[in-house]
Amino acid sequence: MKFSKISLLTFTICFLASNSLLEGEGSFKESNYTLDDINVPISEENCTTAIENLKKLFKEAYIYTDIKKKPPNREYFGAVDIIGELSNISVSDRKYYDFFRDIRRILGKIKDGHLGIVAYKSPNGYNLQRMAMCLPFRFHIEGENRTDAKIYISKYAGCFDYFDQSVRDFVEKHNGFHLIEINGKDPFDYIQNINVEFDPFYNKHSTFTRNIKIAHSIGIYSNPLSQEQFSNITFAFSNNDSITLDYYLYYNDKTGAENEEFNNFFEQEMLKQPKEIDRSILDIKEEFDEMKKNLNKKANDEIKWDYSTYDNKIRCRVDYNNSLNVFTQSTFMYAGEHYKEGIAVVDN
């Protein structure tokens, strides 16, 4: 029996938290995913092992466990009995995604932006890092201050084409009208509280700044919202028009030569956790596509390099005009096969 890992990340240190979530091979669909696809049964034994391993790590490796239980300022920080909360999680008759949400909910109570938990694969093989809920538009604010600020939408290329033509037409026609309500609530309040259970910040301004950047594309490994929270959301605009949408559940399981560059890029971005943990795979893919577009556009105008990695982060050439060997490096974040690629450039 082969098991996957849950990792506990604190101050960029990665600890093994559990060997108890079964890793398997999935038979993946092309589209129309739901959370039921990953919310599959897991055994009581596996759940118990995961909880006990997490308790052990919080006792032995997380220096704030006792402080969080009795903080110096309870009114501001709030008291969290981490070990007690973990002990209270039910382990019988559980499903994977629900169980994962319970653990993430405790991390939300801890309010430590440097602390994260990542479940790489569900029992049937789905990688949560590669799943995201997305809308066909982004949110942005216009206005000088809170009293006259308004929230507008604009096309989100990363998810736009997954929606019907009628939805795409609506988005194109309404990017000049501000939102007056989302599900009957003030749009600022809705975005503020979209992930309230999993919010890692004490400061409400930090929460809003974060949420308005991710509300269009939510990575479910860091914000595992329920199916209900992703469904039947009504957006009302200042011209009295409205539209009701479900978030689209996107999954990228593509491998092979045609996706090797993106997969390498994605793995490098994942190394930046927990700092960048809120960026969904769709946002990372959009950044990658833009990078490739710019690289191709400038290819004919730039200096030709004799050797380089796919993203030009490491490269070298011979400058015959000045009799120089030129080497540039703009990252130290290469790992795995990508690391070998970087070493090959240096060797050449």
Return the CATH number at 238. Answer: 2.30.42
Statement to judge: residues 193 and 119 lie in one domain: no
Predicted pLDDT of residue 13: 29
Statement to judge: residues 108 and 136 lie in one domain: no
Predicted pLDDT of residue 20: 37
Statement to judge: residues 136 and 122 lie in one domain: no
* Residue 169 within any structural domain of the chain: yes
Statement to judge: residues 165 and 89 lie in one domain: no
Q: Which residues, including other chains, have CB under 8 Å from residue 98's CB and lie 6 or more apart?
A: 39
* Residue 155 within any structural domain of the chain: yes
Statement to judge: residues 102 and 150 lie in one domain: no
Domain stop point among 89, 111, 126: 126
Average model confidence (pLDDT) across the chain: 79
Q: For 129-162, write each residue's pLDDT tens digit.
A: 888 899 999 999 998 776 789 999 999 988 999 9
Domain stop point among 126, 146, 165: 126
Q: For 241-252, write each residue's pLDDT tens digit.
A: 999 999 999 887
* Residue 121 within any structural domain of the chain: yes
Statement to judge: residues 160 and 100 lie in one domain: no
Predicted pLDDT of residue 113: 77
User: How many domains in the chain?
Assistant: 3
Range of the domain at 192: 132-251
Cα 38 from Cα 227, distance rounded (Å): 12
Statement to judge: residues 80 and 100 lie in one domain: yes
φ, ψ for residue 94, nearest 5 deg: -105, 155
Statement to judge: residues 114 and 179 lie in one domain: no
Q: Are 205 and 191 in contact (CB under 8 A)?
A: no
Average pLDDT for 14-42: 57
* Residue 261 within any structural domain of the chain: no
Statement to judge: residues 122 and 27 lie in one domain: yes
Cα 199 from Cα 209, distance rounded (Å): 12
* Residue 264 within any structural domain of the chain: no
Global pTM?
A: 0.71
* Residue 188 within any structural domain of the chain: yes
| C-alpha distance across the termini of the chain, in Å | 43
Statement to judge: residues 210 and 322 lie in one domain: no
Predicted pLDDT of residue 203: 82
* Residue 216 within any structural domain of the chain: yes
Residue 35 has pLDDT above 90, yes or no: no
Statement to judge: residues 113 and 145 lie in one domain: no
